[in-house]
Amino acid sequence: MGSDSSYKDRKVITIGIVRELTGLSERQIRYYEERRLIFPERTPGGSRRYSFSDVELLVEIANKIEDGVQTHEIRKEMLRKEKLQNQEELKRQMIQGQLNAQFGLRNGPSSR
């Protein structure tokens, strides 16, 4: 089986189950989607599907809202974190490329 993220990121949970797990109303969950804080997938019939990661994120969002943080501030923070993650990944790839070049590897350390 794959890493933990593989099952945590699969969008298989219905909005009703998410409501039960988080204690949020369906309206709140949809509102967070409208505010682009959460991104469920849609089935061909239009039903929303969420992942375990989405459930965790919704709980985080609800806690921040309860603490008085506004949705636009949460969105800005999410974008800032995403940008930092992208920069870290790019830096990691650049270092890996330099190491590969230094040691004559083509596709990373496992390609011998």
What string of H, E and C letters represents the secondary structure of the chain? CCCHHHHHCCCCECHHHHHHHHCCCHHHHHHHHHCCCCCCEECCCCCEEECHHHHHHHHHHHHHHHCCCCHHHHHHHHHHHHHHHHHHHHHHHHHHHHHHHHHCCCCCCCCC
Using pLDDT thresholds of 50, 70 and 90, give the confidence band for residue 112: very low
What average pLDDT does the segment 67-89 reach?
Answer: 96
Residues 40, 19 share a domain: yes
pLDDT above 90 for 73: yes
Residues 46, 29 share a domain: yes
pTM of the model: 0.74
Residues 53, 5 share a domain: yes
What pLDDT, on the 0 to 100 scale, is given for residue 108? 55
What average pLDDT does the segment 40-52 reach?
Answer: 96
pLDDT digits (tens, 9 = 90+) for 5-31: 688 999 999 999 999 999 999 999 999
- For residue 48, give its domain range: 1-68
pLDDT above 90 as % of the chain: 81
pLDDT above 80 for 81: yes
Residues 55, 106 share a domain: no
Overall domain count for the chain: 2
